[in-house]
């Protein structure tokens, strides 16, 4: 997707913020590292306030596990600071290059949703700046609904200035991991059910090019924190990189199928138990700089949906059938179950059920048509799409997936907006 131009303010000091936030005029939007895939962090008719220059830690108490920092602090930096004290964020997404503000704005989830819920479940306080000049401190005890609207609120309730989170204690930096190959969706669900009680982290890679009914190939990965007390932090820089965008012809059904075949065989060979560092376990793509160049100049679409437990088997089978028949699909298709923990945000994406996430190379109208067919399955199953991964869902799709939208809308700051919001707002 081509990103339209927009005005960008990059403050470095907290006293620059009031004049950027308050007042009428063009709409504004707080953003972080801009790692969301679609248009929820874009505001082409107005401006964005890029918070990455504000990344100071205000307070860190290793004894109580509490850290308060500017919203622009990245999880990359935060982990480096807290790991030596045997602490870690309770929830991390598939990349550490996200800010605290972005983690709150999308109420991100990780591989341990069934144990730790979402990022927002661990937010103790935050400071929100509104366009009317107010600076409001909020926490889970807020009865106005503004805290619940801000968690997963896509930046629309105002600018998050700082965030205070509760960290979790960990013995060290290693994960006791296990990879189990599976050959059907039924096997996947059995592994997921069994692992909920035995493992903190679960996630699966699936081969979306070879689907026959519920027969498919995948690698189920699960893990727990290892008792190993070593705490080496992650490498400062990725070891690999994509130097160039691949030409259009390089990514086709044949290369996709060959890649998936090789990935599955390699995974099978390495199946079983191993001790791995948290970085490749939690953040595999962070090890390859500019991995998105794989999709060539036209870029790609991410697609992530969740469908409720009752519809999980049939809807997931139908989605995979459509994807396999299209010959499209991705190198890294991820299937995972979310637990029953209630999400704290009015617009939080995670809900109990099964989530499928994958990339599609942008081939123009044919890709959009494919995604619309997937939407129809998710809609019928009473599921929802993840705004952080979206640049094209319809207003109908958004509104049907988020039943607390009306309550949320009451808290939107009238001078904050985004391209995403203008497309989907009621
Ligand atoms: C490789 C990769 C893997 C990923 N894996 C996962 C995953 O496993 N789970 C998951 O949940 N997500 C995942 N994501 C998505 C990512 O975690 C989210 O998009 C996250 O919100 C990005 O953070 P950011 O700092 O880049 O925020 P941005 O993309 O800049 O912004 C995200 C949203 O937060 C708002 N926002 C940001 N900062 C502020 C602020 N200071 N005040 C108010 N609003 C603000 C923005 O307006 C926007 O709506 C992944 C992304 C990538 C690229």
Q: Is 60 exceeded by the pLDDT of residue 315?
A: yes
Q: How far is the CA of 82 from the centre of ligand 1 (A)?
A: 21
246 alpha carbon, distance to own chain's centre: 25
Q: How far is the CA of 60 from the centre of ligand 1 (A)?
A: 23
- Do 164 and 212 lie in a common domain? no
Q: How confident is the model at residue 3 (pLDDT cuts 50, 70, 90)?
A: low
For residue 360, what are its two tokens?
A: 């599609």
- Do 148 and 235 lie in a common domain? no
CA distance 136 to 142: 11
Q: What is the mean pLDDT of residues 93-105?
A: 97
Q: Which of 9, 40, 93, 146 to mutate to test the pocket of ligand 1 (most atoms within 8 A of CB)?
A: 93
CA distance 247 to 136: 49
- Do 180 and 256 lie in a common domain? yes
- Do 184 and 314 lie in a common domain? yes
- Look-up of token digits 């290369």: 255
Q: How many domains does the chain have?
A: 2
Residues 6+ apart with CB under 8 A from 352: 308, 309, 338, 339, 340
- Which pLDDT value is given to residue 213? 87
- In sign, the C-alpha dihedral spanning 262, 173, 111, 285 is negative
- Element (DSSP H or E) covering residue 21: helix 17-21
Query: Has residue 2 been placed in a domain?
Result: no
Q: Is the CB of 36 under 6 A from ligand 1?
A: yes
CATH number where 414 lies: 3.30.465.10
- Do 188 and 315 lie in a common domain? yes
- In sign, the C-alpha dihedral spanning 314, 319, 322, 328 is negative
Q: At what angle do helices 185-198 and 312-326 cross, to 10 degrees?
A: 130
Q: How far is CA 388 from CA 40, 85, 131, 216, 370, in A?
A: 7, 31, 24, 28, 19
Residues 6+ apart with CB under 8 A from 190: none
Average pLDDT, the chain: 94
CA distance 25 to 12: 23
- Which pLDDT value is given to residue 200? 98
- Do 385 and 419 lie in a common domain? no
- Do 134 and 190 lie in a common domain? no
- Which pLDDT value is given to residue 243? 67
Q: What is the mean pLDDT of residues 262-279?
A: 91
Q: How far is the CA of 100 from the centre of ligand 1 (A)?
A: 9
**Residue 30 CA neighbour count, 13 Å, CB half:** 37
> Among 369, 365, 356, 298, which residue's Cα sits nearest to residue 330?
356
Please name the residue whose Cα sits nearest to atom 3 of ligand 1. Answer: 94
- Which pLDDT value is given to residue 145? 98
- Do 351 and 312 lie in a common domain? yes
Q: Quick one: three-class SS letters along 293-339?
A: HHHCCCCEEEEEEEECHHHHHHHHHHHHHHHHHHCCCCCCEEEEEEC
Query: Has residue 1 been placed in a domain?
Result: no
Q: Give the domain extent around 137.
A: 7-170+406-424
Q: Is the CB of 202 under 6 A from ligand 1?
A: no
- Do 241 and 383 lie in a common domain? yes
- Do 24 and 48 lie in a common domain? yes
CB of 284 closer than 8 Å to CB of 205: no
Query: Has residue 221 been placed in a domain?
Result: yes
Please name the residue whose Cα sits nearest to atom 1 of ligand 1. Answer: 95
Q: Is 60 exceeded by the pLDDT of residue 2?
A: no
Query: Has residue 240 been placed in a domain?
Result: yes
- Do 330 and 239 lie in a common domain? yes
- Which pLDDT value is given to residue 270? 87
Q: Which of 94, 278, 289 to mutate to test the pocket of ligand 1 (most atoms within 8 A of CB)?
A: 94
> Among 264, 388, 371, which residue's Cα sits nearest to residue 328?
371
> Among 20, 41, 17, which residue's Cα sits nearest to residue 31?
41
Please name the residue whose Cα sits nearest to atom 5 of ligand 1. Answer: 94
Q: How far is the CA of 29 from the centre of ligand 1 (A)?
A: 13
Helix (H) and strand (E) counts in the chain: 13, 19
Q: Is the CB of 106 under 6 A from ligand 1?
A: yes
CATH number where 396 lies: 3.30.70.2520
Q: Is 70 exceeded by the pLDDT of residue 90?
A: yes
- In sign, the C-alpha dihedral spanning 369, 417, 300, 103 is negative
Query: Has residue 303 been placed in a domain?
Result: yes
CB of 185 closer than 8 Å to CB of 214: yes
Q: Is 90 exceeded by the pLDDT of residue 405?
A: yes
Phi, psi of 320 (to 5 degrees): -70, -35
Show the DSSP H helices in 358-418 as ranges.
365-380, 395-401, 405-409
Collapsing DSSP states into helix, strand and coil, what is residue 257? helix
Please report, rounded to a whole number, the percentage of residues in the chain having pLDDT higher than 70: 96
- In sign, the C-alpha dihedral spanning 188, 189, 191, 197 is positive
Q: Is the CB of 347 under 6 A from ligand 1?
A: no
**What is the DSSP secondary-structure string of 222-253?**
EEEE-S----PPPPSS-SEE--SPPPGGGSSH
Q: Is the CB of 20 under 6 A from ligand 1?
A: no
Q: How confident is the model at residue 252 (pLDDT cuts 50, 70, 90)?
A: confident
Collapsing DSSP states into helix, strand and coil, what is residue 176? strand
- Look-up of token digits 């189990």: 180
189-196, long-range: CB < 8 A, 24+ apart: 189/312, 189/313, 189/337, 191/220, 191/222, 192/220, 192/336, 192/337, 195/220, 195/222, 196/114, 196/337, 196/339
- Which pLDDT value is given to residue 4? 67
Residues 6+ apart with CB under 8 A from 61: 67
- Do 416 and 386 lie in a common domain? no
Q: Is 80 exceeded by the pLDDT of residue 248?
A: no
């Amino acid at each position: 997707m081509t990103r339209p131009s927009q005005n960008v303010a990059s403050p470095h000091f907290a006293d620059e913020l009031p004049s950027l936030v308050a007042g009428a005029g063009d709409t504004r939007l707080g953003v972080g590292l801009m790692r969301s895939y679609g248009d929820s962090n874009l505001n082409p008719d107005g401006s964005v306030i890029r918070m990455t220059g504000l990344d100071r830690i205000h307070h860190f108490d290793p004894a109580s596990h509490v850290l308060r920092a500017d919203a622009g602090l990245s999880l990359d930096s935060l982990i480096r600071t807290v790991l030596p004290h045997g602490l870690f964020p309770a929830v991390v997404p598939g990349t550490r290059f996200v800010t605290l503000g972005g983690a709150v704005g999308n109420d991100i989830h990780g591989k341990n949703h069934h144990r730790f819920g979402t990022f927002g479940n661990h937010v103790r306080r935050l400071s929100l700046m509104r366009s009317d000049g107010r600076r409001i401190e909020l926490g889970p005890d807020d009865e106005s609904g503004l805290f619940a609207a801000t968690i997963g609120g896509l930046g629309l309730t105002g600018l998050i200035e700082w965030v205070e989170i509760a960290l979790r204690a960990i013995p060290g930096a290693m994960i006791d991991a296990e990879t189990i190959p599976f050959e059907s969706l039924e096997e996947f669900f059995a592994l997921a059910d069994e692992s909920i009680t035995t493992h903190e982290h679960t996630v699966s890679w699936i081969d979306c090019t070879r689907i026959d009914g519920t027969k498919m190939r995948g690698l189920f990965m699960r893990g727990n924190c290892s008792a190993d007390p070593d705490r080496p932090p992650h490498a400062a820089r990725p070891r690999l990189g994509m130097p160039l965008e691949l030409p259009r012809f390089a990514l086709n059904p044949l290369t996709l199928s060959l890649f998936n075949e090789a990935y599955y065989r390699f995974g099978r060979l390495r199946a079983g138990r191993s001790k791995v560092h948290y970085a490749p376990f939690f953040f595999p793509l962070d090890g390859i700089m500019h991995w998105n160049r794989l999709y060539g100049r036209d870029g790609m679409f991410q697609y992530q949906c969740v469908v409720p437990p009752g519809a999980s088997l049939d809807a997931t089978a139908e989605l995979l059938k459509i994807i396999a028949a299209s010959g499209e699909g991705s190198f890294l298709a991820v299937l995972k179950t979310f637990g029953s923990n209630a999400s704290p945000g009015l617009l939080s994406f995670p809900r109990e059920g099964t989530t499928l996430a994958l990339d599609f190379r942008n081939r123009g109208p044919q890709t959009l048509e494919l995604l619309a067919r997937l939407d129809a399955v998710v809609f019928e199953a009473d599921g929802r799409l993840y705004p952080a991964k979206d640049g094209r869902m319809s207003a109908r799709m958004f509104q049907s997936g988020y039943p607390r939208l009306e309550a949320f809308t009451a808290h939107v700051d009238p001078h904050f907006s985004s391209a995403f919001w203008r497309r989907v707002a009621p």
